[in-house]
Amino acid sequence: MISHRPRGLPGSGLPEYLSSVTSGVPFWARTCGYLVVVVGVLEVLCRLFIGVAPPERYDARYDKISEPGRWVVHSTEGFSRGRTNELGFLDAAVPRPPPADGILVVGDSFTEARHVDQAERFTNRLEKRLARRVYNAGHAGWSPLNAIGFLAAEKATLAPSTVIVQVSGNDLQDIVARKRPHVVEPAPGAFAVELPKRAAEGTAARVKAILFRSALVAAATSSALQLLAGGRDNDATGSCAAPDPRAVRALPWIAGELRRGHDDVHLLYLPMLDYHAGCVDRCAAARDLFARAAAGAGLAFVDATPALCERFRATGQPPNGFANTVPGTGHLNAAGHAVVAGVLADHLVAHRRLAR
Amino acid sequence: MIFSSATFLVFLAALLVLVALARSETQRKVILFAASLFFYGWWDWRFCFFLVVASVIDYRLALLIHEAPTPALKKRWLILSVTWNLGILAVFKYAGWLLRNLAAVLPLPEGTIPTLDIPLPLGISFFTFQAMSYTIDVYRGQFNPTRRLSDFAFSMSFFPHLIAGPIVRAAHFMPQLAGNHPLQRDHLLEGFSRFAKGFLKKTLLADQLAVCADAVFADPTFYSPATCWLGVLAYTAQIYYDFSGYTDMAIGLARMFGYRFPENFDHPYLSHNITEFWRRWHISLSTWLRDYLYISLGGNRRGRAQTYVNLIITMLLGGLWHGANWTFVAWGALHGTALAVHKAWRERWPEPRPVSRVLGPVFTFLFVVLCWVFFRAQDFSTAHTVLAKLAFLSPGGADWPHVQSLVALGLAIAAHAAVVRGTPVRFDLRLPLHLAALFGLLAIDLLYARAGHNPFIYFQF
């Protein structure tokens, strides 16, 4: 098991050289010294390439959001680096005063899109194409209920002329999940949003905050927890189980709430496509429900499904998946974002022409 | 309970504590035997009884063979032993497959031939072969059977080799049972180093490569030819790191408890020809097939043509040993044919030519890679699709430069290059730098390990 090269000869190999220069140092001290170097190197690697998740805070109006001004490195699905803005989103700073023709896109991880470079996201592409400021207000795990709270809270800050709320099939499960903002029905037909109860910050949270300043500790803990839970959420972006009846009943009310106080609101539906089965939306039932609710509340409904499938059939390259995950699964890749940006741009241009 | 799982690490820690507390060799053996049954029963406790009963029967038959007064009677007991072991395999592993094939071939109304869906006891192929080698060695007079049932049962059920080998022969293992095996620092360090090496091979390389290989073989039409090449190469590396990783872990575990297992791999992908490949790949199986099947068929003693036929039959059955599927038979037949062709070549040109020294390793590797397509594909249709993609006959499909597979393949090439240069990667935990490097690798492993159930490939055999 031991390398039998002569020891202590500088130049005969790094281990031998290190052994020669540390020959008088006790075993434990040498081991600790090497471990400090190893941990240091890993910490640097984590900060540059592996993962730095920004800490989250809780806002009483719309639940969780990333801390502002934090460095983010994402590498488990696709790869990107960036910094959160003053609102806690991965986006450029909000201009003061905000332009009159701004577009606000509120959504979940598909909108936040940590998986691609910021310039490749559909919000940034849309901004370039329409020459209008497009605010990316996407946060992983958000549903239309977070959007309702956020729109009410930050309308004055951003003053958008157009609002796009991005939804996906899994939202119909999320809006009734008690761990997230969920709809309650105190009386038949009367709905309200209830935020989950968050534990008060105690000593454990403070210790965790200190430890998690290390990107290595944060990434390793996150990985270990996922391992213990038996699943890493790389390629699953939510389930398409049969929609909960309460969610189905609440959808028209949710659409109405999104419309409240805004003239120009659009519902953008991003599908979960099964490319192996010929590009079929696994959540087609949810799409139909969203479309119906949007029509009922006077929201414009934008479905990216046909364009995404058309792109897949034309090129054979699925618009979901990355070089470090399985193609056709998970979030939209750069090509997928380009398709969605095209669909949205065409829709907004046509909509404006129609409105005139 | 997979060696690379958190559950197993807890089991191992508890077992080490118990063995350390044992006061005598008997206590240690009882603890290890009970732990082996617990380990086996973790999947399905009912099969523990099956394992014990199979051990008792083979133990008794070996004694009967040894004590039989006449060669004819010895032979009769041996036939009974081989029939019993092959019978177990036939019922559990092949009966359902044979019935399905019969139903497909015979012009009978549907449902006439019943379907069998018997759960396959884990490691059945390994422990039946181990038992057969024991009774055949006793019959050949190469080995005196043990009179202690506990020793035989211990050797059969010892958990490091129980599920996926290596096939530890009695002649190798039984003599070790005579000594004392208290936990020793050197054994623990040596064993843990080897176990860690296997653990890293499995979790850092094999499991990452599996992502690409599994996806490509699940739907090859979806992917481009280049991606299919990556998938097939990923599987080539995966099966090596998965199985040799398991073997390293098994050898390391045995060493922790003071026992030695034979080596099972010797960098097979560096082989110059297919004969050499089989001397370096799954050594415990290939030597088993040589000693108990090829030689029993007559080996090379019955003329040139019969030698080639024996080689093909041996590999064909070796392929079938891996699983009840015609793709395994095809894989075995291809390897058997290649071995026969190589033998004929060597008889015609005994001295290796300079060109074969250069091209030999390349062609051997390519042949092995293409044969893995049959081994991995669930049916011939999938194998055909993959081969068509590899031949660029079916262009189009998704391009996927799977980063983890490319990195793992790069590391594999670097590791093999180090072996060629004579500086293989080794851990010696008595050296601080190695200890720190191992810690770093395990930390990286933690960051990248795949969650969920990632069983070893050879568990299914």
What does the pLDDT look like over A66-123, one tens digit per residue? 999 999 999 989 999 999 999 999 999 999 899 989 999 999 999 999 999 999 999 9
Question: B353: how many CB neighbours lie within 10 A of its CB?
Answer: 10
Ordered DSSP codes for A325-348: S-TTSSSB-HHHHHHHHHHHHHHH
Position A16 scores a pLDDT of 73
Please state the φ and ψ torsions of residue B324, each to the nearest 5 degrees: -85, 80
Indicate the angle between helix axes B207-218 and B403-421, nearest 10 degrees.
Answer: 120
* pLDDT on residue A238: 54
C-alpha–C-alpha distance, residues A263 and A352, integer Å: 12
- Indicate the residue type of A98: P
Q: What is the ipTM of this complex?
A: 0.85
Cα–Cα distances in Å, from A7 out to A3, A37, A55, A82?
A: 9, 22, 47, 46
A220 and B443: CB-CB below 8 Å? yes
The residue of chain A nearest to residue B452, with distances taken between CA atoms, is: A230
Of B31-45, B106-120, B176-190, the one with minimum mean pLDDT is B106-120
Same domain, B192 and B236: yes
At the second CATH level, the architecture of A61-199+236-355 is 3-Layer(aba) Sandwich (3.40)
In this structure, are residues A296 and A255 in contact, taking their beta carbons and an 8 Å threshold?
yes
Q: How deeply is B442 buried, as exposed, middle or buried, from its count of CB atoms within 10 A (0-12, 13-18, 19+)? A: middle
* Residues B146 and B207 both lie in one domain: no
Alpha-carbon gap, residue B195 to B234, rounded angstroms: 23
> Would residue B78 count as lying in a domain?
yes
Nearest-CA neighbor of B267 among B189, B368, B164?
B368
Q: Residues B160, B196: one domain? A: no
> What number is the average pLDDT over the span B193-210?
92
Q: Among B155, B179, B203, identify where a domain stops.
A: B179
Looking at residues B333-358, what average pLDDT do you find?
89
Same domain (yes/no): B114, B34: yes
Q: What is the pLDDT of residue A3?
A: 41
d(CA A257, CA B371) in angstroms, rounded, equals 61
Residue A197: both structure tokens together: 């109860």
Q: Is A196 on the interface with B (CB under 8 A)?
A: no
**Both tokens of residue B455?**
């069983």
Q: Where are the domains of chain A?
A: 61-199+236-355
Is A18 close to B433, i.e. CB distance below 8 A?
Answer: yes
Q: What are phi and psi of A277, to 5 degrees?
A: -95, 20
- Retrieve residue A63's tokens: 């639940």
Q: How many CA atoms lie within 13 A of A325 on its CB side?
A: 24
Contacts of A323 in chain B (CB under 8 A): 400-403
Asked whether the beta carbons of residue A317 and residue B447 sit closer than 8 angstroms, the reply is no
Domain count across chain B: 2
The answer to whether residues B157 and B11 belong to one domain is: yes
Is residue B322 part of the annotated active site? The answer reads yes
Cα(B384)–Cα(B229) distance, integer angstroms: 14
Q: Do A27 and B432 touch (CB under 8 A)?
A: yes
Mean pLDDT value of segment B61-86: 93
- Radius of gyration of chain A, Cα coordinates, nearest whole angstrom: 24
For residues B15 and B456, the model is more confident at B15
Per the listing, tokens 């508890």 go with: B14
Which residues, 6 or more positions from B281, have their beta carbon under 8 angstroms from its beta carbon? B265, B268
Domain that holds residue B382: 187-272+352-460
pLDDT along chain A (356 residues), means of 10: 41 69 82 92 90 87 92 92 95 92 95 96 96 95 94 89 94 88 89 84 82 87 76 52 87 93 91 93 92 94 96 96 94 97 96 72
Distance CA A165, CA A191 (A): 20
Mean pLDDT of B183-197: 92
Q: Which chain B residue lies closest to A37 (C-alpha atoms)?
A: B436
| Residue A31 at interface with chain B, using a CB cutoff of 8 Å | yes
A273-274 vs A56-59, strand pairing mode:
unpaired
Range B27-36, long-range pairs (CB < 8 A, 24+ positions): B28/B181, B28/B182, B28/B257, B29/B150, B29/B154, B29/B177, B32/B154, B32/B158, B32/B159, B32/B257, B33/B150, B33/B153, B33/B154, B33/B157, B35/B11, B35/B159, B36/B154, B36/B157, B36/B158, B36/B159, B36/B162
Cβ contact, residue pair B450, A15, below 8 Å:
no
DSSP state of B398: B
> Which chain A residue has its CA at the smallest distance from B422's CA?
A3
Q: Is A323 on the interface with B (CB under 8 A)?
A: yes
- Rounded CA gap, B366 and B375, in Å? 14
Last residue of a domain, one of B132, B163, B179: B179
Contact B452 A231 (CB under 8 A): yes
Residue at which a domain ends, from B163, B179, B195:
B179
Q: Across the interface, do B443 and A42 touch by the CB < 8 Å criterion? A: yes
**Any CB–CB contact under 8 A between B10 and chain A?**
no
Contacts of A256 (CB under 8 A, 6+ apart): A297
Instruction: Let me know if residue B425 belongs to a domain.
Output: yes
Residue A96, strand partner residues: none
Task: Give the tokens for residue B257.
Answer: 């408890």
Residue matched to tokens 């032979």: B75
* pLDDT for the residue A236: 44
| Residues B172, B221 within the same domain | no
Chain B positions in Cβ-Cβ contact with residue A51 (cut-off 8 Å): 447
Beta bridge partners of A63: A59
Rounded to whole angstroms, how far apart are CA atoms A264 and A300? 8
Residue B174 lies in a domain: yes
Spatial neighbors of A172 by CB under 8 A, at least 6 apart, are A243, A244, A247, A248, A251, A283, A286, A289
> Is the CB of residue B430 less than 8 Å away from at least one CB of chain A?
yes
Q: What pLDDT score was predicted for residue A140?
A: 93
Supply the Cα-derived Rg of chain B in whole angstroms: 23
Give the mean model confidence (pLDDT) for residues B294-307: 88
Instruction: Answer yes or no: is B444 within a domain.
Output: yes
B150 and B251 housed in the same domain: no
Would you call B331 an interface residue with chain A, using a CB distance cutoff of 8 Å?
no
Q: Is A326 in Cβ contact with B215 (below 8 Å)?
A: yes
A263-299 tens-digit pLDDT? 899 999 999 999 999 999 999 999 999 999 999 999 9
SS in 3 state form for A237-269?
A: CCCCCCCCHHHHHHHHHHHHHHHCCCCCEEEEE
The amino acid that residue A25 corresponds to is V
Q: Are the C-beta atoms of B248 and B201 separated by less than 8 Å? A: yes
Cβ count near B54 (within 10 Å): 22
Encode burial over A217-238: b for 16+ CB neighbours within 10 A, e otherwise.
bbbbebbeebbeeeebebbebb
Residue B147 and residue B200 in one domain: no
Contact pairs from chain A to chain B, CB under 8 Å: 100
B377 and B435 fall within a common domain: yes
In whole angstroms, give the CA distance from residue B440 to residue B445.
8
Q: Are residues B191 and B170 in the same domain?
A: no
CB contact under 8 A, B215 and A3: no
Which residues of chain A make contact with B211, given a CB cutoff of 8 A? Answer: 326
B162 and B222: one domain? no
| Nearest beta carbon to residue A326 from set B211, B449, B453 | B211
Secondary element (H or E) of residue B217: helix B207-218
Smallest Cβ–Cβ distance between A223 and the set B211, B446, B453 belongs to B446
Query: Within an 8 Å CB–CB cutoff, is residue A232 touching chain B?
Result: yes
Kindly state whether residue B291 falls inside one of the protein's structural domains.
no
Both B132 and B206 in a single domain? no
For residue B437 the two structure tokens come to: 């490097």
Phi, psi (degrees; rounded to nearest 5) at B263: -70, 150
* Per annotation, catalytic residue among B322, B335, B342, B402: B322
Residues of A in contact with B217 (CB under 8 A): none
Put residue B28 in one of left, alpha, beta given phi > 0 → left and psi -120 to 50 → alpha: alpha
Mean pLDDT of chain A: 88
- How far apart CA A280 and CA A328 sit, in angstroms, is 12
What phi and psi, each to the nearest 5 degrees, are found at residue B371?
A: -65, -30
